[in-house]
């Protein structure tokens, strides 16, 4: 049996069977929390500064007071990785809840002044050759910024879960494609989405999808490689008729999509632009890890 994980909770690293928050915790009761998913390569956390900046911005938007400064978060991450002996093939989930309330109810005034930090490290190796994904469009829509701003990386993931439930019993579908309130493509249920048409790379505006850190890296890498690269409104028509489609995320990196709503994308096989961008992305990861000294 694998060794039990060691989890950082509050201010200490404890065995996973001792890792707990109160039943009055705002994250447990209401999803009133923020989080970041990070990946560890060669003992270094990729894009750590960007992830911590996004965490700080989400906390500011929700008026959650973070329990640590940058150095404190780095120390908590280091302690968690060291306790588990993880140096590679590792996914980190860093969460800050609003804290344990004095009574049930969603009023933020019942929460403490400072939030509660949880850091979970798990082994999740990167697929050297990612398996192509098959998507189906969900009926559940991504919220418009007037409802919940997608820029806030909050812990309430029911929107994505409801979408994934629609295909849970469909073995020929791997995940869902989600539209915004106006019918434009937003993203997949757990990843940002890109299309390639006539050598041009495009991705939806980040109005109803997260400003993904891997998404940002791919936009920059694509433009530097000479591909016409844009953020724009995409419809299902654009997706169906694209030469290539792929999704991006911290955990999955870049994964090709070969079927959407029963329609073959391009040749039905992973395309050359996706493969080129994946190789360039991994080259950048290796370069970033080689010069990164934060962890």
Considering the domain architecture, whether residues 281 and 140 belong to the same structural domain is answered as yes
Domain span holding position 35: 6-123
Considering the domain architecture, whether residues 145 and 228 belong to the same structural domain is answered as yes
Considering the domain architecture, whether residues 68 and 175 belong to the same structural domain is answered as no
Over residues 268-286, the pLDDT tens digits come to 999 999 999 999 999 999 9
Over residues 116-170, the pLDDT tens digits come to 999 999 999 999 999 999 999 999 999 999 999 999 999 999 999 999 999 999 9
| 233 within domain boundaries | yes
Considering the domain architecture, whether residues 106 and 187 belong to the same structural domain is answered as no
Residue 123, both tokens: 């082994």
The CATH number given to whatever domain includes residue 89 is 3.30.470.10
Distance of CA 48 to the CA centre of its chain: 14
Half-sphere exposure of 12 (CA within 13 A, CB side): 7
Considering the domain architecture, whether residues 244 and 138 belong to the same structural domain is answered as yes
Reply yes or no on whether the pLDDT at 198 is more than 90: yes
Reply yes or no on whether the pLDDT at 292 is more than 70: no
Considering the domain architecture, whether residues 258 and 186 belong to the same structural domain is answered as yes
Considering the domain architecture, whether residues 84 and 205 belong to the same structural domain is answered as no
Over residues 70-113, the pLDDT tens digits come to 999 999 999 999 999 999 999 999 999 999 999 999 999 999 99
| 128 within domain boundaries | no
Residue in the structure block whose two tokens are 């398996």:
131
| 157 within domain boundaries | yes
Which of 92, 123, 154 delimits the end of a domain?
123
pTM: 0.95
Mean pLDDT across the stretch 175-182? Answer: 97
**Burial bucket for residue 70 (CB in 10 Å: 0-12, 13-18, 19+):** middle
191 contacts: CB under 8 Å, gap ≥ 6: 175, 212, 247, 248, 249, 252, 255
| 200 within domain boundaries | yes
| 258 within domain boundaries | yes
Considering the domain architecture, whether residues 79 and 184 belong to the same structural domain is answered as no
Reply yes or no on whether the pLDDT at 293 is more than 70: no
Considering the domain architecture, whether residues 247 and 105 belong to the same structural domain is answered as no
Identify the CA nearest to 277 among candidates 252, 254, 249, 247: 254
Measured CA distances, 219 to 193, 197, 208 (Å): 11, 15, 17
Q: Per the structure, how many domains does the chain have? A: 2
Which of 123, 157, 190 delimits the end of a domain?
123
Over residues 212-235, the pLDDT tens digits come to 999 999 999 999 999 999 999 999
| 271 within domain boundaries | yes
As beta bridge partners, residue 133 has 257
Considering the domain architecture, whether residues 146 and 77 belong to the same structural domain is answered as no
For residue 3, count other CB atoms closer than 10 A to its CB.
9
Over residues 67-76, the pLDDT tens digits come to 999 999 999 9
**Burial bucket for residue 129 (CB in 10 Å: 0-12, 13-18, 19+):** exposed
| 101 within domain boundaries | yes
Which of 93, 123, 153 delimits the end of a domain?
123
| 293 within domain boundaries | no
Considering the domain architecture, whether residues 76 and 137 belong to the same structural domain is answered as no
Residues comprising the chain, all counted: 295
Cα 204 to Cα 185: distance, rounded to the nearest angstrom: 7
The CATH number given to whatever domain includes residue 179 is 3.20.10.10
Considering the domain architecture, whether residues 140 and 273 belong to the same structural domain is answered as yes
């Amino acid at each position: 049996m694998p060794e039990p994980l060691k989890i950082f909770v509050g201010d200490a690293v404890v065995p996973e069977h001792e890792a707990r928050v109160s039943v009055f915790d705002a994250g447990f009761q209401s999803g009133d929390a923020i989080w970041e998913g990070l990946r560890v390569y060669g003992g270094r956390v990729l894009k750590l500064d960007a992830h911590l900046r996004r965490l700080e911005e989400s906390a500011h938007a929700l008026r959650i007071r973070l329990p640590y400064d940058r150095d404190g978060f780095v120390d908590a991450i280091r302690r968690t990785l060291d306790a588990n002996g993880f140096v590679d093939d590792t996914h980190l989930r860093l969460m800050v809840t609003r804290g344990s309330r004095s009574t049930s109810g969603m009023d933020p005034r019942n929460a403490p002044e400072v939030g509660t930090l949880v850091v979970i490290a798990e082994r999740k190796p990167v697929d050297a050759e990612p398996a192509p994904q098959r998507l189906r469009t969900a009926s559940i829509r991504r919220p418009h910024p007037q409802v919940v701003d997608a820029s806030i990386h909050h812990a309430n993931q029911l929107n994505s879960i409801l979408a994934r439930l629609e295909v849970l019993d469909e073995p020929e579908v791997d995940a869902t494609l989600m539209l915004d309130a106006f019918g434009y493509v937003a993203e997949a249920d757990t990843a940002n989405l890109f299309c390639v048409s006539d050598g041009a790379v495009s991705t939806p505006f980040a109005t109803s999808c997260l400003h993904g850190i891997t998404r940002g890296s791919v936009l920059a890498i694509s433009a530097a490689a000479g591909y016409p690269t844009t953020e724009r409104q995409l419809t299902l028509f654009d997706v169906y008729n694209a030469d290539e489609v792929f999704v991006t995320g911290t955990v999955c990196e870049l994964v090709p999509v070969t079927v959407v709503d029963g329609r073959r994308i391009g040749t039905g096989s992973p395309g050359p632009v996706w493969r080129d961008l994946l190789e360039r992305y991994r080259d950048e990861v290796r370069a970033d890890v080689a010069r990164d000294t934060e962890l």
